[in-house]
Amino acid sequence: MLKKKLLAAAAAALVLGSSLTACGNAAEAGSNNAASGEAIKFNWGTAQGSYLAFYVASERGYFQAEGLDPTFQVFQTGTPLLAGLESKSLDIVTTGLASVFALGQGIPLRYITLEGDASSAEGLVVAKDSPIASVKDLAQAGKIGVPTGTCAQVSAYHAAAAAGLKYSDLDTVNISPNLFANAFESKSIGAGFSWSPYLVDLEQQGNKLIGFDTEWVPGGGACPEMHAGRPEFLDAHPEVPQKMLRALSKARADINADSNVATQVLMKRLSVSEAVAKETARRYIAAQPTLQDELDAGTRFSFTDEKGLLAQLTLASETFAQLGVIKTPVPVDTLKAALDSRYIKAAVAAGVK
């Protein structure tokens, strides 16, 4: 079974890589179009996630209305996304901690803005008949589903610490959260760390939700989902981040006016039930900061405060190093340089919220 999955993953990466190569001239075309006043063409890669504002802006044509003409590439994992950045086949990306791996591999990347806080909807779920009542009982979990190199593994590492355990004390199984339901059913695992919508879906299937990252990960979580770009592309097209921020702001205004907008777009994009989409959207919306919050000191999502996004990214990097997922943590100066607040400052100065 594992061999089949690996072969399938390799085949998928090959197909996606071919697709990226085929559209690799989009950035050059975008430069020519910008000069002529036409829509700016570029390649935008996204990992799979609950990206509320991004999905709404895409569905409602807000990026196009701002004069952007992106070619979207959706990836199931971060590996082909990193390959696209390294080969310069991707210009903009929307992802979680794959950005940390990119910076750790020396791939230039500059953060533009936060899309959402995955930690607000990520946590520990156990089988319906499990004796576990809190994270303190983690030693009784048996086999635990933990996807390697993800936000969920960061969560599991710190949950173990909260339970007075080492991560190595846990009996972990490296499987993706979309496989947890079958694994619970077959009793292959008794617990799992997952992000949403999978976490919410598992709870609504009758499994027990024990808690969220905010309860045991230092600082309240370490899984920011970010929009970022290649510095070379952003320097050549400084107008693109401003257009992106305006489009995303319109989408967030729609969501704040009617949360059902987010529910419907998650149902469409992630093929989940209305109940799952509604609860996932609710948790994301409740945690969503404003652009001003991303500038202000004293918030978890600040680009300018070392206790903000820098602390989250540093914690994730150091955790991956402790787990042996990466050899050494990404230098703090590298992370700090990537958190460039110029685009948010310009947007806020122009009245974008």
Distance separating alpha carbons of residues 270 and 289, to the nearest angstrom: 23
Whose CA is closest to 191, among 158, 145, 123, 128? 145
**What are the φ/ψ torsions at residue 156 (nearest 5 degrees)?**
-65, -40
Whose CA is closest to 252, among 296, 299, 289, 197? 289
- Ranges of CATH 3.40.190.10 domains, the chain: 15-118+223-349, 123-220
Helices 78-86, 2-22: crossing angle, 10 deg rounding: 30
197-217 pLDDT tens trace: 999 999 999 999 999 999 999
Provide the CATH number for the domain formed by 123-220 in this structure. Answer: 3.40.190.10
Q: Which residues contact 18 (CB under 8 A, 6 or more apart)?
A: none
Q: Which residues contact 84 (CB under 8 A, 6 or more apart)?
A: 16, 17, 20, 43, 45, 73, 90, 93
Q: Which residues contact 20 (CB under 8 A, 6 or more apart)?
A: 43, 45, 73, 80, 83, 84, 87, 89, 90
- CA distance readout (Å), 35 to 41, 66, 70, 229, 243: 12, 15, 17, 20, 16
Regions of the chain where pLDDT drops below 70 = 1-36
- The pLDDT score that the predictor gives to residue 9 is 38
At the fourth CATH level, the homologous superfamily of domain 15-118+223-349 is Periplasmic binding protein-like II (3.40.190.10)
- The pLDDT score that the predictor gives to residue 66 is 98
Distance separating alpha carbons of residues 100 and 338, to the nearest angstrom: 10
Distance separating alpha carbons of residues 258 and 280, to the nearest angstrom: 15
- DSSP for 96-108 reads STHHHHHHHTT--
- DSSP for 294-322 reads HHSTTSTT-SS-TTTHHHHHHHHHHHHHH
Helices 342-349, 239-257: crossing angle, 10 deg rounding: 60
Size of the chain, expressed as the number of residues it contains: 353
Q: Which residues contact 63 (CB under 8 A, 6 or more apart)?
A: 57, 70, 243, 244, 247
